[in-house]
Amino acid sequence: MKINVVKNVLKANDLVAEKNRQAFREAGILAINLISSPGSGKTTLLEKTLAALSGRDPSIVIVGDLQTSRDAERVADRAFQVTQINTGMSCHLYANQIASSLPALDLEQASFLFIENVGNLVCPGEFDLGENLKVILLSIPEGDDKVAKYPTVFRAADLVLLTKIDLLDAFQYDLKRVESDLRKLNAVAPLLPFSATTGAGMEDWLKWLQQQKAAKLGAQARFISE
Amino acid sequence: MKINVVKNVLKANDLVAEKNRQAFREAGILAINLISSPGSGKTTLLEKTLAALSGRDPSIVIVGDLQTSRDAERVADRAFQVTQINTGMSCHLYANQIASSLPALDLEQASFLFIENVGNLVCPGEFDLGENLKVILLSIPEGDDKVAKYPTVFRAADLVLLTKIDLLDAFQYDLKRVESDLRKLNAVAPLLPFSATTGAGMEDWLKWLQQQKAAKLGAQARFISE
């Protein structure tokens, strides 16, 4: 009985997500769902990324939080447009919350849409928002055992950013264990060490974003010409 | 419609939780629900706590994880009894999962029952397991903005452990902001800095546990004598 309820909620969500994806496709914008535990560095990643992209690639940000608009305020200066969604009691964003945000946004004018999900390493992996790509952040202080313990999100990942890599020496941390656990769940998602403090991984992250944008636009062009 | 479903699930959960609480009362055991983000130090806290309590206060541990029994293995040597619950896709424990675990446990023989919830700073705050007390762990690397952003669990807290306090100098961290945000939500829960590495706060934590146990047993004795 309970499982049926969950299935229906997920199915309804997926239908809306598909419409969101179509809107992104028509606008030629690449939508990226940022997922991690609380405090793994999603907002800091966004601050740095928006600064690097500004001028060349205007970007829209949708931020999900239970309460407050602190994260939206942090990125407001650097984003083309920002929307804050307060989820109240919900531990993840739903596709319909994204759908409701879209009419107020100029998707055609921007290159990237970054959706910062609620800090949670479980449910955001199950709820499709219509994004093109899921990026999972896992910070060093969280420990090297988290990939196996939270398989849902890592299975769904298109890229895993190992954030706060500058703190590696402060912990007993087995990088090989993380990579090995990830490969058991996900054969393809790159694992990219990253530090907003030292700038490590920043160049590769920006390169990955551009490659994904090019791949998507290329795929659309092929689709139209066929 | 969706809200009704959630309300019914919560109501059904609360009925089972109340039965669990009665079982704990009859057995004279103090049940503590440990809640935090992934990697905030729940299992490390348990390792240290069980070592300190061993002999004097036999303790039972119930561990919730999506997958793996890694955490249960880590505490197995030091606990009186251990049960691992794999929640699969669920981002929190339900009261009925605890209820199902109880028949195999000798509650009367132990002083404390520690329930390590799934790593998640949202939903575990909403689902009563029948515990006597909720202890929230918030680790320094998660940042000083998390209390206001995740109010549900902090509102419900009986104690907040500020873990990995030894890393304070590695971050720009405003302790006063954390305390001020907490006081807006919760007037009474102590905020206790803690480090499993240096041992800071360990004595106060153990003292708190003994006080809570004494208070509870005292309350029960009063109840019986009335």
Encoding tokens for residue B73? 């293995």
Q: Is the pLDDT of residue A217 over 90?
A: no
Q: For B118-174, what is each residue's pLDDT tens digit?
A: 999 999 999 999 999 999 999 999 999 999 999 999 999 999 999 999 999 999 999
- Sign of the alpha-carbon dihedral angle for B201, B202, B207, B213: positive
Give the C-alpha separation, B204 to B36, whole Å: 19
CA distance B109 to chain A (A): 31
A184 has a chain B CB within 8 A of its CB = no
A166 has a chain B CB within 8 A of its CB = no
Q: For B38-86, what is each residue's pLDDT tens digit?
A: 999 999 999 999 999 998 999 999 999 999 999 999 999 999 999 999 9
First to last CA, chain A: 45
Q: Is the pLDDT of residue A226 over 90?
A: no
Give the C-alpha separation, A137 to B181, whole Å: 26
Q: What is the pLDDT of residue B161?
A: 98
Residue in B5, B150, B167 nearest the CB of A66? B150
Q: What is the pLDDT of residue B226?
A: 46
Verify whether the Cβ–Cβ distance B70 to A145 is below 8 Å. Answer: yes
Phi/psi of residue A13, each to 5°? -60, -45
Give the C-alpha separation, A139 to A146, whole Å: 10
Q: For A116-143, what is each residue's pLDDT tens digit?
A: 999 999 999 999 999 999 999 999 999 9
Residues of B in contact with A142 (CB under 8 A): 37-39, 141
Verify whether the Cβ–Cβ distance A121 to B126 is below 8 Å. Answer: no
Q: How sure is the predictor about B6, in pLDDT bands with cuts at 50, 70 and 90?
A: low
Verify whether the Cβ–Cβ distance B70 to A38 is below 8 Å. Answer: no
pTM of the entire predicted model: 0.90
Are A163 and A57 in contact by the 8 Å Cβ rule? The answer is: no
Are B128 and B14 in contact by the 8 Å Cβ rule? The answer is: yes
What value does the mean pLDDT of chain B take? 93
DSSP letters along A151-214, please? HHHHHH-SEEEEE-GGGGGGS---HHHHHHHHHHH-SS--EEE--TTT-TTHHHHHHHHHHHHH
Encoding tokens for residue A47? 């601050």
Range with lowest mean pLDDT among A105-109, A194-198, B52-56: B52-56
Q: For A132-175, what is each residue's pLDDT tens digit?
A: 999 999 999 999 999 999 999 999 999 999 999 999 999 999 99
Residue in A38, A67, A71 nearest the CB of B37? A38
Residues of A in contact with B37 (CB under 8 A): 37-39, 119, 121, 142
A175 has a chain B CB within 8 A of its CB = no
CATH annotation of A2-225: 3.40.50.300
Verify whether the Cβ–Cβ distance A66 to B151 is below 8 Å. Answer: yes
Encoding tokens for residue A12? 């309804």
- Predicted complex: ipTM over 0.90: no
Residue labelled with tokens 């390792």: B47
B72 has a chain A CB within 8 A of its CB = no
Are B42 and B137 in contact by the 8 Å Cβ rule? The answer is: yes
**How many Cα atoms occupy the beta-carbon half-sphere of A158 within 13 Å?**
14
Residue labelled with tokens 């919760």: B186
Q: What is the pLDDT of residue A148?
A: 96
Residue labelled with tokens 């939500």: B185
Q: Is the pLDDT of residue B1 over 50?
A: no
Residue in A67, A141, A152 nearest the CB of B149? A67
- Nearest residue of B to residue A69, measured between CA atoms: B149
Q: What is the pLDDT of residue A11?
A: 87
Any idea where the domains of chain B sit in the sequence? 2-225
The Cβ of residue A135 has, within 10 Å, a number of other Cβ atoms equal to 25
Percent of chain B with pLDDT over 90: 88
Residues of A in contact with B65 (CB under 8 A): 149
